Structure 1
Amino acid sequence: ISRKYIMNKEGSSYKKTSNIIKSEKELFKLNHKLTNMRHSYQLEVVNDIINRKPKFITIEDLNIGGMMKNKHLSKAIQQQALYEFTRILGYKCTWNGIELRQVDRWYPSSKLCHECGSVKRDLKLSDRTYICDVCGNVINRDFQASLNLRDATEYKIVSL
């Protein structure tokens, strides 16, 4: 669309042709459809979580602003609408009497060994398998983080 604007430039102003208007409408409809699909998926995921009737749900407080500064990831993170997901999860938990816990962003959920409690400081993001140097525990890093978040003792209860 921006190329069409440049082609139809008259002096210092841009002329909007009927083809440009049609293209803008198509783009708007496509963006609207994608937004509705993302929102629908978020509602499905939250409903699946809530329908399992847990006693509590623990989420991690992430530095979204810091992640948005990464030029390679910012668009993908923005499209995920993580704040909206947290908001929906929060009001559904309040509605169903489920405790929503939020762990601090500095909690070492993926660096902490679930078996012995030792912290592995030199863990990189590319290491997908957690291998404990103390007890020899070998486990998937994401599963390890989920176990640690489940058993976290320092958290804030989120209420709406």
Structure 2
Amino acid sequence: MSFRKIDIDALEAEAFQSSDYLPETAQVKETPEEALSLAEARQGDVRNLLQRGDAVGAVKRALQDPPYGPDRDQSKNTSCKTVLEVLMGTRSSEIAGIVEQLDTDERDLLIKYLYRGWSSPKGVHCGPLLTWHEKLIEVTGTGSIVRALTDRRTV
């Protein structure tokens, strides 16, 4: 038997699982369909908050419970679209105040969504995202960039 046909990960007891990237406190309880319905419900909540003019609440709600885990591509796309919709619809004068009201985990998650937005530029204007990035880095420093790039959990 050729060594190229041997699946090493199957032989090793500690084979890599994609669920290893999840936070220790997180348990993937919902199916991918349930995760998608939660993301769509969050999207509706965010739109309602934006219509009422609550930009801070909309950003915080959009960043709640990101869909981590395998087989969550549709819910990740919906969540990313929701976050980018909020970021694009926020006035430049409000950004600094919103960033200061976010906690460290929310800021790190927001950096991840900014990078995800830049990675797929279809329908995304980079100017507002650069403004958000500038204000985030003023508050958090470069630590949030390092945490976002080294975290294996993708959004």
TM over 0.5: no
TM-score by length of 1: 0.25
Highest relative contact order (Cα 8 Å, sep 6+), 1 or 2? 2
1 or 2, which has the higher helix percentage?
Answer: 2
Name which one, 1 or 2, has greater alpha-carbon Rg. 1
